[in-house]
Structure formats: C-alpha cells, structure tokens
C-alpha cells in the first residue's frame, strides 16, 4: 500500500514538473503573447536637423557618396520639377567641358549637385567646372544653375568652345545661322532643323536635300570666309554656328554680329583614332546641352563610337606585313594643283589608320605633326602603294564649286567621276604602280571627310575596300543609309541617289558607292 502511494506521488511530481517546464518554454517562445507585436515606447536620441534638399529625379541612379557630417547644415536646393525626365546619358570616357559638370564626368546630372554640396561642406575638392555660373564662387547659385541645365530651362550656359576658350551663350536658341556641311547635318541629327534661318554657300547648294521641310524660308548669307553680315543680322538670329576654326576669325564674326552668339563647336577637329578625346565629339555633346537635345546627341555619339570600336577591333588584328600600302591624296583639279599626302593630323590620315591601312606618308619626317605633306609623282612611284584614294571637295569654304568630278548627295550620274578617274589612271608614268596595275585607284566623295560623321563614314567604306574578307559581313552602304534615315531623318535612298565611291563595290548584287546600275 505504501509502495503504491509512493509510486502515485512520484508520477504526480513528474507530471507537475513537465507542465511547469512546458509553461516556461511556451512563455520564452511567445506562445501566450498577443498576435500583434507592441514595441516598447523607447525614446530615440534626437538627430542633428538636416537642411531640406530638393527631390532628385528618380530616373537617374545616384552615385554612392561619402556620408555627410550631421553637424554641418546642408544648403537648401531649389525644388526641381518632377515632371521633367532626366536625360539618359551613356558613360563616355571624357570630361564634358561645360560649367556645371562638377564631378568631371561625361554628363551633367544630379550627381553634380551632390558634388557641389560636398564642396560646400568641405568633403570634396573644387573642380574646374564646379562653378556652374562661372562667377568665381561655388554656392547655392551653382546648384540652381545645375538644376536648370538638367531640367532644360537654363537661360545661360558656360562652356569651352572647340578651341578651348570659355564662352557663355544665351538660352533658349530659337533662330540659327549655320556654316558648312558638318553643322548642317548636326542640326538634323539633333532634330532642330526648324530653327535654321540662314546658311552659307556650301549648305545652300544642298538646301533642298538637307532642309526639304523649310528650304523656301532659309536664306543664303554667302560664303564662309566673308558672309554678308548685314543679311545675317536682318535674320535676327540668336546664334551663328560657325565653321571658322581660328580664334581671330571667330572674334571678327562676333564683333560684326552684336547680340548674336558666335559658337565654334569644334566639328573641324574629329579624330576617329581617339574619338572621345576629340573636340568633334565634345562638340556633339555640347550642342546637345545648348539645344536641349542631350538624349539625341548622346545616342549619336555612342553610335559613332560603336562603329569606330568595331572597325578597330578587326583591323587591330592585322600584322604590319598584312596591311595594304595606302596613299590618301587630293584630287588634282588642275595641272598646277599641289599634290599632298594626308598625314596624322588630318581626318583622312586618321581614317587610314583606323581602316588598317599602312599610310605610305608615314616615312615622311613631318607625318606625325602635320595634316598633309607635299609630294610628287616620282615619290608616289617610288613608294608603290597598293591602293590610292583621291579625295574631292565639291563645294568649298570660299564659295567655289568644283564641277568635276561630280560627287556627293546631289549627284546621281557617275559619268563625270568615271571620266575623271579614267583620265587620272591613264597617265603612263604610273603604269608600274601596283594601285594602277590592279585597278585599286578610287575617287572618294567629300562626305568621307567633311560631314557630321567626322571621318567615320570614310573608315566604314575604306575598311571594306582594303579588307573585304575581314569585313565580309559589312556593307558600307547599309551603315551609310542608317545614318541618313535614322539620324538625318531624310527621305533619301542610296540605291537611287548619291555618288560617293568610284569604282563602286558590288556586294551581294548591290551596287555600293553609287546608285544601282551605275557602271
């Protein structure tokens, strides 16, 4: 009996212990707590008040910046309209030469505002373009100016022109006079052709092609060197996009056009071997900011860069022994024409390098520091090039038209260029030269050097001529047509119009360099 009672007591004790243990575990695991978590009302330390900053556009990713000291009040930024989208700018390996590019990258965006704030609180160093309004002080007004540039409502823009000189232009620009082909094509790339009210002699000759929408309302103001200044002023322009590249010529035009911003963008200085380092590339991007067309300018710059990279990736595989020996020279319009070989400072000299040619002018002492070098027939025979390209200019700066060889966008008939080539290649003194023996002498259009592709078009065609197997999948006319249709937005068909290369190429039954059927 006692034993039975002891057993019962022991069991009761064990059960009680188990119940108590379960209760403890359940409490520790919140089995008996309410389903809503009520947090204790813990008082947090009061943080140092921060100055209110303007909301940044959400479309542009912000770069990670160093933490700001909480004890230093931040300058209040002007509110930004949230309805204005940020330009989508691809990363380019350059420093955009516009005041407001505080962090010295390839664009102006909200990161520049943040950088100016850091300069003001002492956590970043002053940079050349941080003083956005160029008044000598980096302050809230520079943040306001950067905001206005981003949002496209700035009334002034300070930048370096194509020669590296500081200029300030008034915005917006609604009426433009333009000089020469490069500027004419760039305004079409940017989609601002409706702003053009005046053009120079060369552009006037192509007016119906470049400006079919408003050709009858655009006035010719004469040739580039000595335009009719009174006529220019009568058009009430906001800006003259000049192609005069010397500071003295630019200053003279500015002095004779009071109230007009005379801007040299730098399109005179392309460099297809190092495009991102060129004034030409900067000029495209700067024009995007001047005319509030940043997206279009950047898209176009990246397209050009992709083409040059594609060509370079292929031609860089060539050994020196595999490279064709090339002479790039000017077409001899008269018997007294000085014959030149284009060198490294000229667009065509750079085109030769990019296209993989071995420029025979490389042996000349001034090749690396000149645009061209004077040569003669004896030297050409001695160098014995495999290919010769004769560059032509139809409409000149000075208002002269070279009728023959007829080439370019306003020519459809190859008779003139064919006759000129036959006359050139029939010279007996060149009979032993490889280029003559193998029918590798070509006349090339001025467009290969003097358009808004900055020599890239020339490299596209020449690379195919020199290395058809290396560029077996490459049709230069397809790329050329893309430029005309996508960027110039012209209703112009290369199968029907334009003479750019003679002799032409035949690619899969397509005549390349002139209209289909050209002989």
pLDDT digit string, tens, across residues 467-506: 999 999 999 999 999 999 999 999 999 999 999 999 999 9
Judge whether 200 and 221 are in contact, CB under 8 Å.
yes
Rounded Cα–Cα distance for residues 285 and 265 (Å): 9
DSSP 513: S
CA 229 to chain centre: 31
Q: What is the pLDDT of residue 5?
A: 39
Higher pLDDT, 324 or 82: 324
Q: Which residues pair with 391 in a beta bridge?
A: 330, 444
DSSP code string of 110-135: HHHHHHHHHHHTTSS---TT--TT-S
Judge whether 185 and 265 are in contact, CB under 8 Å.
no
Q: State pLDDT tens for residues 82-116.
A: 333 333 445 899 999 999 999 999 999 999 999 99
Domain layout of the chain by residue ranges: 87-154, 170-294, 318-512
Q: What is the pLDDT of residue 90?
A: 52
Maximum C-alpha span of the chain: 142
The residue with tokens 């029939």 is 426
What's the average model confidence in pLDDT over 64-75?
33
Rounded Cα–Cα distance for residues 275 and 304 (Å): 9
Judge whether 148 and 84 are in contact, CB under 8 Å.
no
Can 170-294 and 318-512 be said to share one CATH topology?
yes
Rounded Cα–Cα distance for residues 500 and 409 (Å): 8
Q: pLDDT-derived band of residue 73, with 50, 70 and 90 as boundaries?
A: very low
Rounded Cα–Cα distance for residues 444 and 350 (Å): 15
Backbone φ/ψ region at 162: left (φ over 0), alpha (ψ -120 to 50), beta? alpha
DSSP 67: P
Q: What is the pLDDT of residue 455?
A: 98
Rounded Cα–Cα distance for residues 367 and 211 (Å): 39
Q: What is the pLDDT of residue 281?
A: 97
Residue range 318-512 forms a domain whose CATH class is alpha beta
Q: Can you read off the two tokens belonging to residue 190?
A: 């940017």
Does an H or E element contain 483, and which?
Answer: none
State how far the alpha carbon of 459 is from the alpha carbons of 309, 316, 352, 463, 515, in Å. Answer: 11, 14, 7, 6, 20
Rounded Cα–Cα distance for residues 315 and 404 (Å): 33
Phi, psi of 157 (to 5 degrees): -145, 125
Q: Quick check: 61 pLDDT over 90?
A: no
First to last CA, the chain: 129
Q: pLDDT-derived band of residue 450, with 50, 70 and 90 as boundaries?
A: very high
* Percent above pLDDT 90 for the chain: 82
Q: Quick check: 436 pLDDT over 80?
A: yes
Q: How much is the mean pLDDT over the chain?
A: 87
Higher pLDDT, 429 or 26: 429
Q: State pLDDT tens for residues 7-52.
A: 344 334 434 443 334 333 333 333 333 333 333 333 333 333 333 3
Q: State pLDDT tens for residues 465-477.
A: 999 999 999 999 9
Non-local (6+) Cβ contacts of 375 within 8 A are 329, 339, 340, 341, 361, 364
Non-local (6+) Cβ contacts of 102 within 8 A are 112, 113, 115, 116, 119, 127, 129, 130, 132, 142, 146
pTM (2 d.p.)? 0.82
Q: Quick check: 454 pLDDT over 90?
A: yes
CATH topology of domain 87-154: Type 1 dockerin domain (1.10.1330)
Q: State pLDDT tens for residues 216-258.
A: 999 999 999 999 999 999 999 999 999 999 999 999 999 999 9
Q: Which residues pair with 239 in a beta bridge?
A: 176, 261
CATH topology of domain 170-294: Rossmann fold (3.40.50)
In angstroms and rounded to an integer, the radius of gyration of the C-alpha atoms of the chain is: 34
Q: pLDDT-derived band of residue 337, with 50, 70 and 90 as boundaries?
A: very high
């Amino acid at each position: 009996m006692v034993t039975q009672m002891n057993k019962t007591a022991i069991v009761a004790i064990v059960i009680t212990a188990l119940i108590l243990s379960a209760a403890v575990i359940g409490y520790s695991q919140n089995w008996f707590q309410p389903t809503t978590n009520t947090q204790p009302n813990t008082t947090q330390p009061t943080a140092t008040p921060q100055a209110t900053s303007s909301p940044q556009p959400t479309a542009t990713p912000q770069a990670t910046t160093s933490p700001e000291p909480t004890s230093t009040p931040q300058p209040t930024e002007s509110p930004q309209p949230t309805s204005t989208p940020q330009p989508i700018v691809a990363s380019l390996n350059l420093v955009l030469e516009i005041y407001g590019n505080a962090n010295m990258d390839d664009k102006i965006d909200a990161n520049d505002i943040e950088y100016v704030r850091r300069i003001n609180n002492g956590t970043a160093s002053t940079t050349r373009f941080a003083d956005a309004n160029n008044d000598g002080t980096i302050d809230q007004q520079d943040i306001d100016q950067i905001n206005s540039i981003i949002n496209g409502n700035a009334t002034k823009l300070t930048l370096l022109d194509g020669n590296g000189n500081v200029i300030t232009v008034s915005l917006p620009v609604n009426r433009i006079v333009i000089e020469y082909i490069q500027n004419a094509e760039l305004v079409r790339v940017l989609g601002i052709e409706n702003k053009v009210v005046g053009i120079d002699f060369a552009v006037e000759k192509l007016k119906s092609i470049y400006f079919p929408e408003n050709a009858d309302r655009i006035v010719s103001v004469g040739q580039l060197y000595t335009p009719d200044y009174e006529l220019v002023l009568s058009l009430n322009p906001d800006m003259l996009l000049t192609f005069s590249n010397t500071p003295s010529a630019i200053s003279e035009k500015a002095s004779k056009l009071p109230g007009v911003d005379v801007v040299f963008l730098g399109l005179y200085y392309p460099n297809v071997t190092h495009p991102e380092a060129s004034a030409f590339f900067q000029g495209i991007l700067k024009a995007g900011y001047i005319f509030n067309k940043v997206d279009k300018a950047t898209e176009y710059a990246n397209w050009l860069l992709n083409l040059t990279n594609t060509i370079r990736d292929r031609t860089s595989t060539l050994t020196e022994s595999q490279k064709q020996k090339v002479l790039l020279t000017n077409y001899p319009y008269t018997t007294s024409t000085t014959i030149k070989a284009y060198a490294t400072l000229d667009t065509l000299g750079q085109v030769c390098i990019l296209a993989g040619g071995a420029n025979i002018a490389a042996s000349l002492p001034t090749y690396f520091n000149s645009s061209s070098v004077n040569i003669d027939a004896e030297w050409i025979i001695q160098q014995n090039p495999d290919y010769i390209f004769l560059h032509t200019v139809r409409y000149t700066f000075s208002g002269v038209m070279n009728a023959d060889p007829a080439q370019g966008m306003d020519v459809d008939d190859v008779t003139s260029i064919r006759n000129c080539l036959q006359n050139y290649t029939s010279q007996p003194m060149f009979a032993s030269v490889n280029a003559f023996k193998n029918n590798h002498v070509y006349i090339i259009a001025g467009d290969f050097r003097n358009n808004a592709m900055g020599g890239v078009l020339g490299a596209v065609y020449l690379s195919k001529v020199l290395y058809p197997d290396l560029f077996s999948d490459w049709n230069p006319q397809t790329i050329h047509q893309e430029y005309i249709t996508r960027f110039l937005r012209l209703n112009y068909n290369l199968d029907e119009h334009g003479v750019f290369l003679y002799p032409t190429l035949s690619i899969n039954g397509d005549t390349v360099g002139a209209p289909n059927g050209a002989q």
